[in-house]
Amino acid sequence: MLELQSIRVAYGQATALWDVSLSIGQGELLCVVGPNSAGKSTLINAIAGVHRICAGRMVLDGQDVSRLAPHRFCARGIALVPEGRRLFTEMSVRENLELGSYLPAARAERARSLERVCALFPALAEKLAQPAGSLSGGQQQMVAIGRALMARPRLLLLDEPSLGLAPTIVLDMFDAIRRIHAEGIAVLLVEQNVSMALEIAERAAVLEEGRIVALGRPEELMARPELRRAYLGLGAGQATIQT
């Protein structure tokens, strides 16, 4: 579905991603983990078209989209849930959700998509008329994910969806991600909650200082003690992933 071929992303003269190659298959759930400032958000924003690629290629469905205008990525089936949610807090929940369906194809399915979002996040169904800023942090994250789903994407990009949420809400959030993936939507998950991210992922990439240092199935990465200690934030005695 999507392939990154030796891409480089920079902020001015400062390179943030070096020679990154990565692929995401149709309907796959891939997580990217690593320490702070590793380049995880830069990576996901580059895939969304927010950051331009300086070198290398990004190929989507066999077509080079490296120079595609940022606003064209949504029409190609890519939707981003950014870190920090970035809702319009004075607008209603419904209005925030409907912003995700501005393209003609998504607009034609707006009512059905709204029902789908409310089924995924029942807490939002009774709050559609409320200002988004009046919701709890967890509910605002639901709106952010729901807004992306309103675009009816084939690839959903999630940047730190559990950040700042209470532990019980985090469990609900990851359950929602599982359900979204079960519908056949490909998911690229950037997440600092390493244990839970690896539990739901089919493959995982470890990013450090703008480079991918490991890539494979979660159980394979967890079996390598040096990765557990250095990048996954897990000690040698912690339990491995249940598959």
Say which residue the tokens 């084939």 belong to. Answer: 154
Strands 29-33 and 186-190: parallel
DSSP secondary structure string for all residues of 170-209: HHHHHHHHHHHHHTT-EEEEE-S-HHHHHHH-SEEEEEET
Report the DSSP beta bridge partners of residue 81: 158
Q: Round to whole Å and give the CA distance between 121 and 116.
A: 9
Say which residue the tokens 């789908």 belong to. Answer: 116
51-88 tens-digit pLDDT: 999 999 999 999 999 999 988 999 999 999 998 889 99
Q: Where are the domains positioned within the chain? A: 1-77+155-164+188-243, 82-152
185-200 tens-digit pLDDT: 999 999 988 889 999 9
Say which residue the tokens 């998950």 belong to. Answer: 189
Question: Taking the alpha carbons of 26, 27, 28, 34 in that order, is the dihedral positive or negative?
Answer: positive
Q: Round to whole Å and give the CA distance between 59 and 177.
A: 25
pLDDT exceeds cutoff 80 at 204 = yes
Q: Round to whole Å and give the CA distance between 171 and 150.
A: 23
Q: Rounded to the nearest 5 degrees, what angle is found at the Cα of 8, between the Cα atoms of 230 and 156?
A: 75
Q: Round to whole Å and give the CA distance between 176 and 93.
A: 18
CATH classification code of 1-77+155-164+188-243: 3.40.50.300
DSSP 8-state class, residue 131: B
Residue 234 pLDDT grade (very low, low, confident, very high; cuts 50, 70, 90): low
Residue 239 pLDDT grade (very low, low, confident, very high; cuts 50, 70, 90): very low
How many beta carbons lie within 10 A of that of residue 147, not counting itself?
25
